[in-house]
Structure 1
Amino acid sequence: MKIALLGTGAVSRVLAPAFLYLGHDVVVGTRSPLTTLDSNTAYARLATRYSALGLCTFADAVPDAELVVNAIDGPSCVAALTSLAPALAGRVLMDVSSPFDWSLPDAVLDPVNTDSLGERLQRALPKAKVVKTFNTLAAEAMAQPSAIGDGDHTVFVSGDDASAKAMVTELLRSLGWKDVLDLGCIRTARATEMMLRMWIDASVALGTHMFGFKIVR
């Protein structure tokens, strides 16, 4: 499968090699490839290690992709993707963003309760098929669920399109996820996005961000 990963932060640096290992064609989208290679030393090291990993602008990354992953920071992802609406029409957009500005010392969730980033993206990209997932986890756990409790924890998906959720679920299972819970329509992204505050406080209490949430039946 051809996958476009938008963003060059920690999430992208974890998922890109994992997708390559599974045999997918992966390209990373960024605002400015030259600036990324010059100033993002962590990504530059990744690019050196994985020669098959392409890097281009957001606009150039999307057209050939069967799956687009939004790994752009939450506060700026809606604005960044809105201009790509025509190219994203009909495509599955796997959204892993969080409504939290990590640059502030104690930022609040925005949006929260009555809206979500997942819903904002779906409204901004009405012809795309948005699937919310992975936003309740540390980046390192996304591609290696077995690193926490031998993989015995839950990952969630939310979205309006059943076939898009099936595609994302299949990808998650190929990464080793055993418990994938479909919460329903994209509106349910409100619930998982609001779990971020619990994730932050729990990580402080536990002294580690490597933990997961488990739905016990």
Structure 2
Amino acid sequence: MNISVLGTGSVGQALSVRLAGLGHQVFMGTRNVADSLQKTQPDNWGNPAIGTWAKEHTEVELLSFKEAVEKGNDLIVFALNGKAVFECLDAVGEAALNGKVLLDISNPLDFGQGFPPSLFVSNTDSLGEQIQNKYPGLKVVKTLNTMSNPVMVNPHILQGDHSVFVSGNDAEAKATATRLLNSFGWEDRNIIDLGDITTARGTEMVLPLWVRLYGKLQTPFFNFHVNTAKAQ
């Protein structure tokens, strides 16, 4: 497939490398290509800056948001901070988004009061729903937002079963998302279809717990497992 990954941070980088390694043509979207290529300082966690990363991963083409979606038009992956979603998608334009499947792996994190972050939407709404409502022609699937990026793209990095959730209104779009998850190594028994896009409220609200577990465990290499075995 021709896939656009919107976002140049560690999540976008991890997904782009994995997708390219699986044989997909990947187009990474950024606000400004020239500005991105000038960035060479690693982030606070030691992840490479996009300027350095892009030189080492020429199999991924770095383009503007709109150009990336125009070329990677089989599937869109939104891998930016949740606060940037409408700036990004508005730059692409509704006409280019209509009819496309968008995997939304973002979360509505608000760092306005420092760390740990709060959520800028919760309980009665979700970021996934807001995207779907603003762009009704877009087929939004919320998934992979309850774990760190190494686990997203390689579930076998952890021992045993653990779960990934899928939310969305369009059955065919969710099937596309499920096939992609399978290609990453997720087994069907661990993929839980929660229902329509309103169920993204639940997975987005997992993040406060995830952040606190990260603080306690001091590692991003963990995930949640929903055990559905019947009682004996």
CA RMSD of aligned residues (A): 1.3
2:100 to 84, 91, 95: 91
Q: How does 1:99-114 map to 2 (within 5 A)?
A: 99-102=108-111, 104-114=114-124
Partner of 1:189: 200
Identity, % of aligned pairs? 41
What corresponds to 2:147 in structure 1?
137
Q: Is residue 6–residue 69 contact of structure 1 (8 Å, CA) maintained in 2?
A: yes
For 1:19 and 1:121, the matched residues in 2 are separated by 24
The residue correspondences of 1:199-214 to structure 2 (distance < 5 A) are: 199-214=210-225
Instruction: Give the match for residue 60 of structure 1.
Output: 67
Secondary structure of the corresponding residue to residue 133 of structure 2:
helix
Contact 2:28/2:63 (<8 A) preserved? yes
Change (3 A) 1:13 1:102: farther
Q: Which residue of 2 aligns with 1:82?
A: 90
Aligned-partner Cα distance in 1 for 2:102–2:58: 25
Deviations 1:31-66 (A, max 9, x none): 001111102542223222221210110011112310
Aligned to 1:69: 77
Q: Do the aligned partners of residues 40 and 75 (structure 1) sit closer, same or farther apart at CA in structure 2, a change above 3 Å counting?
A: farther
Shift in Å at residue 149 of structure 1? 1.9
1:63 partner SS: helix
**Consecutive unaligned residues in structure 1, runs of 5 or more:** none
The two structures have a TM-score, normalised by structure 1, of 0.95
AA aligned to 2:29 is G
Aligned residues: 216
AA in 2 matched with 1:160: N
Deviation at residue 28 of structure 1 after TM alignment: 0.2
Per the normalisation by structure 2, the TM-score is 0.89
Q: Structure 1 segments of 4 or more deviating over 6 A?
A: none
How far apart, in 2, do the equivalents of 1:19 and 1:210 lie? 20
Work out the CA distance in 1 between the residues paired with 2:70 and 2:58. 21
Deviations 1:82-119 (A, max 9, x none): 34221100000000011103463333111001110100
Equivalent residue, structure 1, for 2:12: 12
CA distance, structure 1, for counterparts of residue 219 and residue 20 of structure 2:
28
CA distance in 1, matches of 2:136, 2:64: 22
| Matches for 1:2-41 after TM superposition, within 5 Å | 2-39=2-39, 41=41
